[in-house]
Chains A and B, each alone.
Chain A
Amino acid sequence: MTLANPSDFNGSLQPQGWLRYFSFSLDHKVIGLQYLVCGFVFYLIGGALAGAIRTELATPLSDFMPRDTYNEVLTLHGTVMIFLWIVPVVNGAFGNYLIPFYVGARDMAFPRLNAVAFWLIPPAGILLISSYFIAGAAAQSGWTAYPPLSLTTPAAGQVVWILSVLLLGGSSIFGGINFIATILKLRRPGLKLMQLPMYCWAMLGTSILVVLSTPVLAGTLILLSFDIIAHTGFFNPALGGNVVVYQHLFWFYSHPAVYIMVLPAFGLVSEILPVHARKPLFGYTTMVYSIMAIVFLGLIVWAHHMFTSGTPPWMRLFFTIATSFIAVPTGIKFFNWLATLWGGKIALNSAMLFSCAFIVNFVFGGITGVALAQVPFDIHVHDTYFVVGHFHYIVYGGTVFVIFGSLYHWYPKFTGRLLNEDLGRLHFLLTFIGFNLCFAPQHWLGLNGMPRRVAEYDPTFTTLNQVSSVGALLMAISTLPLLINVVVTAINGKVAGDNPWNALTPEWLTSSPPPVENWIGEAPLVTEPYGYGQHQEVPQEVQA
């Protein structure tokens, strides 16, 4: 088959230079960077909201902002971080940039759908944030929007929230379809599935979850909006509705959403570790099977978010067992990464520091996760700060650390310049210390009686809350060296060359930044993306 050549439709009509990042570009590399920068802007907004939360919680009294504002802030913080930062960046940004390279294609399978998927995000994000200013009151029922609370809080803000999440869910589904089609159908002739870099498998698994579960969330939120606007009674107990059904439907998406956020991170780490340890990825086949096992198990564990809800004993038991077993395929991946490092020649640069810290943080979050899966344990700490600590170890300590590591790893490919290592190490140190200071004490707070989503708390919890707030401040400061680094090195950073890490995966076998067609001439056939140590000289020539 003839591969679509982007220069055909990306030709003279498209703006050149930096303007193409503000255009309806069909180039997967431009779209990937659009996702990345847009996501980072929302990360700063979500981070500012987190700063407001930690400022309120620096004192036991509700004295920093009005109580309903606090609920708006925590709702927006969760929604922004999940739907506008982590999901778009770890899937959309790196997926769009890397997947066509990895399968040997010149673009994604559906370039126009791809551009539509990205351009749904800025309006949805602006809509969400503006609800705070325009609709009078933004949604204040948490990112979970449980009815009946979401039916009784100011309706306009809640409806805008639903609309925004629907747009973002649509964007996610478009992206998922595109990734599945690209990975399965656009592979370069001669390239077998089991020769693909691990990130492809991670994105295939993630996209299956996106396509299966996101429509359920969309349907649920549409029903919820009917309840708010048309006063139907799907989830309104006053009209015979059932509030627990909403929770089942919501978590049928929102638990897989955790894997939609962490599986791509697993994939990215699997790319970074072999390059900087100069060793093949350990246990490729078991890695692939464990991704697929996580995808399957991820779909049948949702009710562990509902152990204290209206759930009968048998259901509590089933979901305990199913959830616990996710630890097995996840454990395989961590042991395989350790084995990848063992006996390597490790360069401990910023990309590696963030990747290794990811292992530490995620193992911690995984262990508290297995504990939370046990019904008797969960009944005490459910909906407390223990859970807040746990999931921040997963999504921040896990995924966000990987996003930063990936930025240091692929920035030379994106721009042709290397990020400054000293600033990178400073960024890492501030992030790692700030993160652990912020979230580790929260486990103790939860165990000892502090529920989540509160603006005020028992004064005995003051000290640890202040430690947590100091950690949050460090995390805020940690973005400064990153921002300085990105801006300064883009202008006069060290020139990277095509392949500064001597990596073997296909995105490095072209210029930095790559041409619109990805490769001049035919796409290289890379059958051993992790073939380190086999032939000591790195293949520089592009194979025909």
Chain B
Amino acid sequence: MPIRTVLTIIAATTALVLTGLWVGNNVNILPLDASSNAPTYDALFKVLFSIGTVLFLGIVILLVYSLFRFRRPSGDLSDGLAIEGNLPLEIVWTAIPAIVVLFVGIYSYDIYERMGGMVNLNDHSAMAHAAMEPQARVWGGIGGAGMDAAPTGAVLPVEVTAMQFAFIFHYPDANITSGELHVPTGQPVELHMEARDVIHAFWVPQFRLKQDVIPGQPTVLSFTATKAGSYPIVCAELCGPYHGGMRSTVVVHEPEAYATWLQQNSPASTTT
């Protein structure tokens, strides 16, 4: 291969990779990050976006270049070169996707583990409130709320019941039932979820978390909110005619404001 071709290939590849990295790092198409795992998710998103940009642009540029460079002149009835394959080249483009996929897989496993995704869901020592439902086996979700670094308090358990077409939140410790989810910043929250009729899904886009809520099979979802504010809770599983209207709100308070909310809504405080 002539040295000029080699240099061109190296220069083009470098430019492509740099473009991909730049695009991936400057892409800003995600909603606010309001939970402890959201920045981790966004880091993964940037890596995937960079790799995706490099591959997509590379392939499209090669394709469009070929279409112009090797376009058949009108009246030319001859054939192209009779090249049927090239083993080293084919090994290279088997290896590149394999390495990329391996890297992406290991990296996203790491991210998932940092989210607490690999914690055994039925390890009762990790579940503060397994005693609430002694027989219930948890079928899916993300446990391990206690895995988060430096939690300021114990895990806050909330029982979530989903039905057509609403979420109901019950705080077993304070005996509060609410149509909105209120949580403090900095404290790990563990949602114990079950549906009453059909499958629903609990999704907070700003937390980058979603878990199906299933009838007959308890699921769990842990998160730590980091930014005060109100965010939508969206049902993400088709659950009937009003599926699109099945929404609620999660209100993230600063710890003091949360204590006030707890105080004001606790049945103990209103009756005494």
Contact = CB atoms under 8 A, between A and B. Distances in A.
B215 A367 contact: no
B192 to A, nearest CB: 14
A517 interface: no
Interface in B56-92: 56, 59-60, 62-63, 66-67, 70-72, 76-86, 89-90
Nearest to B99: A328
B104 A374 contact: yes
A68 B23 CA distance: 42
A339 B120 CA distance: 47
B211 interface: yes
Interface stretch (A36-44, A375-383, A491-499): A375-383
B82 A533 contact: yes
B31 A376 contact: no
Contact of B59 (A68, A279, A363, A374): A363
B101 interface: yes
Contact of A374 (B44, B96, B215): B44
B31 to A, nearest CB: 5
Contacts of B51: 367
A149 B108 contact: no
Interface residues of B, number: 85
A231 interface: no
Interface stretch (B127-135, B166-174, B233-241, B264-272): B233-241
Contacts, number: 284
B244 A457 contact: yes
Categorize the interface residue count of chain A.
Answer: 35 or more
A129 interface: no
Contacts of B105: 320-321, 324, 374
Interface stretch (B9-17, B179-187, B198-206, B255-263): B198-206
B112 A375 contact: yes
Given A237-B216, A456-B244, A458-B232, A345 B97 contact: no
Contacts of A284: 84-85
Contacts of B211: 308, 379
11 contacts: A62-B245, A152-B198, A283-B85, A308-B236, A325-B98, A328-B97, A356-B63, A374-B105, A376-B111, A456-B245, A533-B80
Interface of A: 62, 66-68, 70-71, 140-142, 146, 148-149, 152-153, 237-238, 241-244, 277-286, 308-313, 316-317, 320-321, 324-325, 327-328, 331-332, 334-336, 338-339, 341-348, 356, 359-360, 363-364, 367-368, 370-371, 374-377, 379-380, 382-384, 444, 447-449, 451-458, 502, 530-534, 536
Interface of B: 29-31, 40-41, 44-45, 48, 51-52, 55-56, 59-60, 62-63, 66-67, 70-72, 76-86, 89-90, 93-94, 96-98, 100-101, 104-105, 108-109, 111-112, 115, 117-121, 139-140, 142, 197-199, 201, 203, 205, 208-212, 214-217, 219, 232, 234-245
Given A320-B105, A332-B94, A382-B236, 11 more contacts: A286-B90, A309-B212, A311-B140, A331-B94, A343-B83, A344-B66, A359-B59, A376-B41, A380-B210, A382-B210, A448-B205
